[in-house]
Amino acid sequence: MSYKNFPMVPRVIFGRGSFNQLNDILAPKRQSINAPFIYLVDDVFKNTTWLTSRISLSYDDKIIFVSTKEEPKTTQVDELVEDIILKTKARPSGIIGIGGGSVLDLAKAVSIMITNEGESKDYQGWDLVKNPAIYHVGIPTISGTGAEVSRTTVLTGPEKKLGINSDFTPFDQVVLDSELTKDVPKDQWFYTGMDCYIHCIESLNGSYLNAFSKSYGEKALDLCKEIFLDDNIGPSNIEAQENLMMASWHGGMSIAYSQVGVAHAMSYGLSYLLGTKHGIGNCIVFDHLEEFYPEGVALFKEMKALHGIELPQSICAQLTDEEFEIMINVALGLEPLWENAVGKNWKKIITRDKLKALYQKM
């Protein structure tokens, strides 16, 4: 038995308003005046001056606003990297991602691809990255995905939706400032928060569970319940913003040393074929997973009702047999997720017909 030796985020600053200290954090990391900091910022903040005005640009630093209408793609990463290399005089001093899971994952992937040859699709998988990434900082503006702590960056490539999982993927620095999450719309808040809740359920009910994952998963689950089982609490509640930020962190830590499960495997299929975004996709799938996670799904339905959330229905109603096959292939390709969810003999239980029947309900 050989145990995995995982890196963790080495530096984190936590606190409301801590975003104001970003310049002090970055200054010592500047390599030269020709080596800029590149900020990847979710384009929902394009006209949000309370946020953008606090980013102070010096020398050749620049902000690139990125659209997160779609999940991050390998081609998007490759284009960003090419653009950055072409337009900078020297290798950048760092990449700073400011946004949700999509932007954080893009920032991680770009920082890796600046020092590694070829295309990002070649690195989708486990431990394929050869060279350390450049300095990269993650600043979440919505909580739940765990992208700020994870050792992966999930990308949709030409053949698969799969993460670049490597020791070089985690951020060198994370800034947790709950104030940045204050304007998250309620449905988004719920879907992304439920990503965290589902991380907990999948980790705590998985065959890979161990004391490390359990301790983080239980704490994150308690926080999620505290937040989402109270209909007086919404996205603008300051205490809940701080708690959800820490739930996301702990949920991410929980799956670092275990795995996610059925909802994630199947939602990757939806996302690959239909472009369904991660948070809402997980919710659509999880709503139909009573047989795998009876208690977790019952509580999910309770939280959904409490906050008046209505999930899209029949998104698979018009799909052809070939399209179902594509989703099933993507889902079944995520072997560690199934092994964690169902056990070593998962192939006997999770048949193509079974997955098709489940997708047909969604």
In 3D space, the residue among 180, 185, 192, 249 whose CA is nearest the CA of residue 22 turns out to be 180
Structure tokens at 153: 């960056």
Secondary structure class of 66 (helix, strand, coil): strand
- Is 95 or 198 the residue whose CB approaches Fe ion more closely? 198
Report, in Å, the least distance between residue 50 CB and Fe ion.
29
Single out the residue of 58, 9, 66, 12 nearest to residue 37, CA to CA. 58
Give the shortest CB-311-to-Fe ion separation in angstroms: 16
**Shortest Cβ 187–Fe ion spacing (Å):** 17
Instruction: Using DSSP bridges, classify how beta strands 62-66 and 94-99 pair: parallel, antiparallel or unpaired.
Output: unpaired
Residue closer to Fe ion (CB basis): 132 or 333: 333
Alpha helices in 229-320 (DSSP H): 238-256, 262-274, 278-286, 294-306
Closer CB to Fe ion, 177 or 195, in the complex: 195
Report the alpha-carbon distance of residue 87 to residue 61 in Å, rounded: 11
CA dist 217 and 60 (Å) reads 42
Of 116 and 205, CB closest to Fe ion: 205
Determine contact, residues 231/214, Cβ cutoff 8 Å. no
Which residues, 164 to 203, sit near Fe ion by CB under 5 A? Answer: 195
In terms of CB distance, is 105 or 195 closer to Fe ion? Answer: 195
Give residue 308's identity as a one-letter amino acid code. G
Instruction: Round to whole Å and give the CA distance between 356 and 3.
Output: 35
Residue nearest to Fe ion as judged by C-beta position: 195
Contact flags string 87-106 toward Fe ion, x per CB under 5 A: --------------------
User: Considering the complex, what minimum distance in angstroms separates the CB of residue 198 from Fe ion?
Assistant: 7
Q: Which residue, 92 or 193, has its beta carbon nearer to Fe ion? A: 193
Q: Which is nearer to Fe ion, 139 or 280 (CB)?
A: 280
**Following DSSP, what letter does each residue of 149-173 receive, concatenated?**
T-S--EEE-SS-EEEEE-TT-S-SE
- The CB-of-327 to Fe ion minimum distance in angstroms stands at 17
* Residues contacting Fe ion: total by CB under 5 A: 1
| SS3 of residue 1 by DSSP | coil
Q: How far is the CB of 254 from Fe ion (least distance, A)?
A: 11
Q: How far is the CB of 145 from Fe ion (least distance, A)?
A: 6
Backbone torsion region of residue 343, taken as left when φ is above 0, otherwise alpha when ψ lies between -120 and 50, otherwise beta: left
The residues of the shown chain that bind Fe ion, judged by CB under 5 A, are 195
